[in-house]
Amino acid sequence: MHFAVQVSRVSKHYRKKVAFEDISIEIQTGEIYGLIGPDGSGKSSLMQAIAGVLTYNSGDLCVFDTLIDSEKSAEKIKHRIGFMPQGLGLNLYPDLSIEENIDFFANLRGVSSDLLQQRKEMLLSVAKLTPFKTRPMKNLSGGMKQKLGLVCTLIHQPELIILDEPTTGVDPISRRDFWEMLNRLVMDEGMTALVSTAYMDEASRFNRLSVMHQGKVLVQGRADDIIAKSPGWVVEIETSQPSVVLARLKVKFETVEQLGQMIRLVIFDQEKDVIESILKEQLGSEEHQWYFLPIGLEEFFIHHLKNHSSSAAKRLQNPSYPISQSPTDKDRVNTDEPLIQADNLIRRFGDFIAADQVTFEVRPGEIFGLLGANGAGKSTVIKMLTGILPPTDGAGFVANQNMAHSGMAIKESIGYMSQAFSLYLDLTVLENIKLFGRIYGLSGERLQERIDWVIDVGHLQSVQNEPAGSLPMGKRQRLALGCALIHQPKVLFLDEPTSGVDPIGRSEFWRILVNLASEWGVAILITTHYMLEAEHCHRLALMQAGKIVAYDTPVNLKQTLKQQKGQVLSVNVSHPYRALSCLQKAGYDNLSLFGNRLQLFSKTVSKTKNDVVNVLKNNQIEIKDTMVLQPSLEDVFVDRIETALAKHELR
């Protein structure tokens, strides 16, 4: 067994601050190795040390059997490494076209003209960027920027690529394309990849991984093996009475939450038949349907942190949000009328139609999800509904007022958190909150009361005198949410509010949103690329090319896909790349690779399972286990968007 990277008891300190400490990992040649963990866990610093761009204080770090202990030794192997830093397109030049960016990086790396042409054509084809190669980088969607960044990182044919959260802020379609591209290149060229991610569902795509927290590795190995150390189940319950079911199950289970019209349980260390018995006892003979799903890395990660003495874990175990106090009748939104209405909204920019006859409504106490690929028109719709952008045609109503000619009075009923961090980085947390309070006309005791509320609800007491720009992403987003809520709006617009936020931060953020909707009656419209978050929404609208292509509850959308395409067969194999190749040769085209698992849809899952097992056994590939899964919202997203794209191409 040969290792591309060997890290032995390596530590990095910035004066009194620990970036990472006593880290030991080994990355095998030809594998995709992952780093997962919350903000500030040390992932980026460790990757920079391996890339040779950051010195470390102690320990041994070898890359391709070369000890990296000085700038001189790092220079010896840099030509064999490709490094893509965190941030959408931050390693690219906005005014250069796709092709010009690639040529620039090729020249920088000394790639010969013959090899450049050959690799450029291949990489553009794999990345599906060939038709857009003359387009300036600044005009690309987030997904296209990340694929171009990967192409530029790969242009000199590196043996090791280091990718720091390459898919943060990227939609599920582009994320899937990105991973298919990476898997193909690792399989075809024998590359090794070190990748970090904030998306826990994405971590299942790694061959092996390390879970990091507070600068240390908590656990490492294959995803399935890590999860097996804390056996458990996720149970999704479809019911017409979610609040009743929630109350009954809270008596018996610790981790129970309502996700739209569905109840979700996360249960560790209990047998399936015991859980079934409790469910039947608590829910009686009423009509409820439930599914048992395997524990994922996100559930494992949050559960594991509860066994550590971090403040984040303590908050998850014992949340004490002031917002959880029951609101008075004066505070609660008391109306059954829709608080947000989009009525055939159209927005053109010259010949380009960004929003095309968009229609939906959001009622008090409802969380409504607006989903779509990068550039689908979601942010344009929000800007029209908030009065920032006038519609070309159609109308948008918020709190029964037409936003096209509403005054400041109606805008005071709206809270808006934009896609970009919209606060003032040089001001302290407290100064930002005061500023937004005064902008909304608060003063005196009322202002102080709301400042205290924002600090408490966001758990910002320890950082209230620190500049907003110095906060980790999770705290920044809670500050931004608090500032959007300081004037107690009836309606809240959130544009990708948790992009780049770790699971702990997302969990805290959503506790606040669910309580705002259920207890205070706030109508919430949210966009997100994270499909586990979309499960919290009561209803969803999927957008593609400015149009709504699906509009229903998460449960109904998944059920419809199940009827159309069947269930998901997931097979855990010993040699995933060889298994993928064998099954493709046998005629299985729509395969997805998730680390050591192969997944595909089937309406006749038992027969497909037998056929797949026979193909793999005939090729001497060991099958470690098989699972039958229900379609996920990400499956729904990919299917609906691809169907819409295919219809558009046929016209």
Q: What is the mean pLDDT of each run of 10 residues along the chain (651 residues)?
A: 93 88 95 86 92 93 94 91 80 91 92 90 88 89 83 92 85 83 87 88 86 89 86 87 86 85 88 90 78 84 66 44 47 73 93 92 94 86 88 91 73 80 85 92 91 86 89 80 89 84 77 86 91 89 92 92 93 89 89 87 92 92 89 90 72 43
Q: Are 168 and 198 in contact (CB under 8 A)?
A: yes
Q: Determine how many CB atoms are found less than 10 A away from the CB of residue 17.
A: 9
* Among the listed residues 609, 610, 608, 621, the one whose alpha carbon sits nearest the alpha carbon of residue 582: 621
Structure confidence at residue 89 (pLDDT): 65
For residue 623, what is the enclosing H or E element? strand 623-629
Provide the 8-state DSSP code for 326: P
Same domain, 64 and 212: yes
Structure confidence at residue 56 (pLDDT): 94
Structure confidence at residue 329 (pLDDT): 53
**Contacts (Cβ under 8 Å, ≥6 apart) of 642:** 173
Provide the 8-state DSSP code for 587: T
Domain end point (choices 492, 520, 553): 553
Tokens found for residue 642? 């691809």
Same domain, 74 and 196: yes
Structure confidence at residue 285 (pLDDT): 60
Query: Does 260 map to a domain?
Result: yes
Task: Give Cα separations from 360 to 298, 345, 585 (angstroms).
Answer: 32, 10, 45
Domain end point (choices 513, 530, 553): 553
Same domain, 589 and 529: no
Query: Does 44 map to a domain?
Result: yes
Structure confidence at residue 549 (pLDDT): 92
Same domain, 549 and 616: no
Query: Does 579 map to a domain?
Result: yes
Query: Does 299 map to a domain?
Result: yes
139 φ/ψ sector (left φ>0, alpha ψ -120 to 50, else beta) = alpha
Same domain, 177 and 255: no
Structure confidence at residue 543 (pLDDT): 92
Domain end point (choices 553, 569, 600): 553
Distance separating alpha carbons of residues 199 and 166, to the nearest angstrom? 11
Q: Are 586 and 615 in contact (CB under 8 A)?
A: yes
Structure confidence at residue 648 (pLDDT): 63
Provide the 8-state DSSP code for 15: T
Q: Determine how many CB atoms are found less than 10 A away from the CB of residue 181.
A: 18
The CATH number of whichever domain residue 125 belongs to comes to 3.40.50.300
The CATH number of whichever domain residue 593 belongs to comes to 3.30.70.980
Q: What are phi and psi of 446, to 5 degrees?
A: -65, -40
Q: Are 256 and 263 in contact (CB under 8 A)?
A: yes
Radius of gyration of the chain, Cα coordinates, nearest whole angstrom:
25
Tokens found for residue 384? 């029209």
For residue 512, what is the enclosing H or E element? helix 503-520
Distance separating alpha carbons of residues 441 and 103, to the nearest angstrom? 53
Task: Give Cα separations from 298 to 197, 271, 458, 597 (angstroms).
Answer: 12, 20, 22, 18
Structure confidence at residue 41 (pLDDT): 83
Provide the 8-state DSSP code for 97: B
The CATH number of whichever domain residue 240 belongs to comes to 3.30.70
Query: Does 179 map to a domain?
Result: yes
Query: Does 329 map to a domain?
Result: no
Same domain, 235 and 191: no
Provide the number of structural domains found in the chain: 4
Query: Does 19 map to a domain?
Result: yes
Same domain, 261 and 129: no
Tokens found for residue 397? 């109503």
Query: Does 335 map to a domain?
Result: no
- β-strand pairing of 66-67 with 255-259: unpaired
Same domain, 590 and 505: no
Structure confidence at residue 583 (pLDDT): 92
The C-alpha angle with vertex 376 and arms to 200 and 391, in degrees rounded to 5, equals 135
Distance separating alpha carbons of residues 237 and 32, to the nearest angstrom? 35
98 φ/ψ sector (left φ>0, alpha ψ -120 to 50, else beta) = alpha
Provide the 8-state DSSP code for 462: G
Task: Give Cα separations from 224 to 146, 182, 210, 332, 567 (angstroms).
Answer: 28, 21, 13, 45, 20
Burial (Cβ within 10 Å: 0-12, 13-18, ≥19) of residue 272: exposed
Same domain, 393 and 463: yes
Same domain, 215 and 232: no
Distance separating alpha carbons of residues 42 and 417, to the nearest angstrom? 28
Domain residues for the domain of 276 are: 227-324
The C-alpha angle with vertex 440 and arms to 438 and 445, in degrees rounded to 5, equals 55
Same domain, 546 and 645: no
Q: Are 340 and 369 in contact (CB under 8 A)?
A: no
* C-alpha 169, offset from chain centre: 7
Same domain, 34 and 124: yes
